[in-house]
A = this chain, B = another copy of it.
């Protein structure tokens, strides 16, 4: 059994812990958090500590803390020549202290407290300084997910940027849609089948082919009506509308809004 210590107690740490509970290849032998109170509900099933000096020996130390804190935290670990991996999309592997063997175990998914995630479907992006360590990470990863990828730091950085567009930014557009509905007293739920179909479409179609709408058709009349309507009711979204419309026009070879 591969032994794992988790360091951190946020959403990623918690979802990883739950996924590893079901693994037949790896087991979490200890969970570190500065504030162990947040781990109360897990105390019966795993050893919990808030003292870095009491860390157990393990094959892998999984750091799941905020991006900014990874570098300093990895330096502060009282470990030597151990396999220490972080779980961040945007932090390069080289940010980890060279006292230990570095690696990355990045689950490319959005995690929230409110929702359970089927970990089998979560892409895991792996990287390691040493081939043997990469093999070990792969054994763990394949025991909890069916989507495991070798991804270097440059590629991971670009994936993280792409994820900001398709996840964070998309969610913001849902919020704008919601605002427009509220403003006009129509239920946002009318839009949900459309939202689902938009996503399903790109499973079979390239997004470039799937594009529809006034910006793609260069339907200036509708575009101007939309801008006028936003101006009147929700002016804070006018620039957003213009910039995205211009970007679509540019993509399809029409430069001018």
Contact = CB atoms under 8 A, between A and B. Distances in A.
B155 A186 contact: yes
Contacts of A216: 168
Interface stretch (A18-26, A130-138, A176-184): A176-184
Interface in A209-241: 210-216, 219, 221-222, 225-226, 229-230, 233, 236-237, 239-241
A209 to B, nearest CB: 8
Interface in A177-218: 177-178, 180-181, 183-186, 188, 190-208, 210-216
A226 B162 CA distance: 10
- Interface size class on chain A is 35 or more
A254 interface: no
A219 B186 CA distance: 34
A166 interface: yes
A73 interface: no
Nearest to A154: B184
Given A172-B247, A195-B167, A240-B247, A184 B155 contact: yes
Interface in A12-30: none
A121 interface: yes
B205 A112 contact: yes
Among A149, A154, A229, A243, max chain B CB count under 10 A is at: A243
The 7 A-B residue pairs whose C-beta atoms are closest, nearest first, are A168-B213, A158-B184, A174-B207, A175-B207, A162-B177, A162-B180, A166-B177
Interface of A: 67-68, 90, 108-110, 112, 114-115, 117, 121-123, 125, 147, 149, 151, 154-155, 157-159, 161-178, 180-181, 183-186, 188, 190-208, 210-216, 219, 221-222, 225-226, 229-230, 233, 236-237, 239-241, 243-244, 247-248, 250-251
16 contacts: A67-B221, A90-B225, A109-B193, A123-B193, A151-B186, A155-B185, A159-B184, A164-B213, A165-B180, A166-B194, A167-B195, A170-B195, A172-B207, A175-B208, A199-B199, A239-B243
